[in-house]
Amino acid sequence: MATTADSLVDKVKTTITVPDNQVLLTNERILEFINEEIDSEMVPLISSVNQDYFVAVENESLTAGESTYAIPYRAIGRALRDLKINDGSNVRSISKIPLEDAHLFRSASIPQSFYFMGDKIVLVPTPLGNNTLSLDKYYLSKPNRLVLLSEAGKITNISGTTLTLDNVPTDFTTSSLLDLIEGKQGHQNKAMDVAVVSVSGNQVEISAAPTGFNALAVGDYVATACESPVLQLPDEAVPLLVFRTAKRCLEALGDYEGSEAIDKEITKRKKQLERLIAPRAEGASTKIMQRFGLLRGYRGRYGRGIVY
């Protein structure tokens, strides 16, 4: 069963028994606390186990004569997990080099390395001539901001690129960009920043529908880009998230004694979560590979790079 933003709010209110007559902790305020806890505590904790829970990839074609490319705007910390050159049949990682050494990698027409310039990726050497190369940018993607079910829609029927939803928010217009979110546990983004072609009643026509293993299914969700009505964390993270948010709510109400009392439960739930989420493949060891050894085509730091 999907963990929705609405159900999370209810769990928090039940945990601390929020009085119905109080006006400070509205559903929207509690949801704001939940989102802050996801960003400041849950994502760093889950990322710290190094099990690639938030890895996503963006593919961008290389342009001859252009060396500068953008970091995906949803990347956590404006950082990359890996950067690869892809020609459609061969894929290889390229290494980060110091800016001071960029001039040493100018003798090839295919990028061998990269460095960061502010918020941009700079490839060296600059790609030249007609090519079919693309850049695979692997990064840790921020979970979408949680919104109430009333601010999103659930797919009840699919006909090509026309989606029938159980609810169409008023801000779904032809100028909107949408995220298409898996309805099953994990709730990954099947597609991001999808343009809206038309909106009519409970039907939304989108510019393109994802295919393959990301193909849409009845029960998936549609939300404004960077938003989601369902939690994009492992279900096992729910208890810790609820207790951490409950602590924030108690502090907001001035109940510092209650806030301190909940700390033991937070510590307990944190340890349980860490045990459950790592390792993800318990029976499989991680294979260590010498990525830049001679057997893999490396010819030294200045030896004109890696054989492609």
SS3 assignment, position 69: strand
pTM of the model: 0.85
Predicted confidence band at 44 (pLDDT cuts at 50, 70, 90)? Answer: very high
Number of domains in the chain: 3
Rounded Cα gap, residues 99 and 97, in angstroms: 6
Q: Where are the beta strands (DSSP E) in 99-241?
A: 113-117, 120-124, 134-140, 145-146, 153-159, 162-165, 177-181, 189-200, 203-206, 221-224, 227-228
- Does pLDDT of 25 surpass 90? no
For the chain, how many residues are written? 308
Residues 173 and 135 in one domain: no
Domain contains 300: no
Collapsed DSSP state (helix, strand, coil) of residue 61: strand
- Asked which of 118, 141, 164 is the last residue of a domain, the reply is 141
Residue 229, pLDDT score? 98
Point out the domain boundary residue: 92, 122, 141: 141
User: Does 308 map to a domain?
Assistant: no
Closest CA to 58 of 77, 82, 88: 82
Average pLDDT over residues 96-113: 83
Q: Under the phi-then-psi rule, with left for phi > 0, alpha for psi from -120 to 50, and beta for the rest, what region is 83?
A: beta
**Cα Rg of the chain (Å, integer):** 23
Write out the residue range of the structural domain in which residue 1 sits. 1-52+231-277
pLDDT surpassing 60 at residue 284: no
For the segment 133-145, what is each residue's pLDDT rounded down to a tens digit? Answer: 999 999 999 999 9
Is 157 in the same domain as 211?
yes
Residue type, 153: G
Report yes or no on 43 lying in a domain: yes
Residue 185's CATH number: 2.40.30
**What gap in Å lies between CA 72 and CA 123, rounded to an integer?**
16
Q: Are 69 and 7 part of one and the same domain?
A: no
Structure confidence at residue 303 (pLDDT): 44
Q: Is the model's pLDDT at 128 over the cut of 90?
A: no
Regarding whether 2 and 23 lie in a shared domain, the answer is yes
Q: What is the mean pLDDT of residues 34-54?
A: 94
In a domain, 297, yes or no: no
Is the residue at 254 inside a domain? yes
> Comparing C-alpha atoms, which of 123, 121, 91, 93 is closest to residue 106?
123
Res. 250: pLDDT tops 90: yes
> Of 126, 141, 156, which closes a domain?
141
User: What is the Cα 156 distance to its own chain's centre?
Assistant: 25
Of 22 and 276, which is predicted with more confidence?
Answer: 276
Residues 226, 152 share a domain: yes
Q: Would you state the pLDDT for residue 11?
A: 95
What integer is the mean pLDDT of 250-263? 91
Q: Is residue 117 part of a domain?
A: yes
302 within domain boundaries: no
Q: Which residue has the higher pLDDT, 105 or 63?
A: 63
Tens of pLDDT, residue by residue over 178-225, are: 999 999 988 999 999 999 999 999 999 999 999 999 999 999 999 999
Indicate the range of 20-29, 87-96, 139-148, 234-243 predicted with least confidence: 20-29
- Average pLDDT of the chain, as a whole number: 89
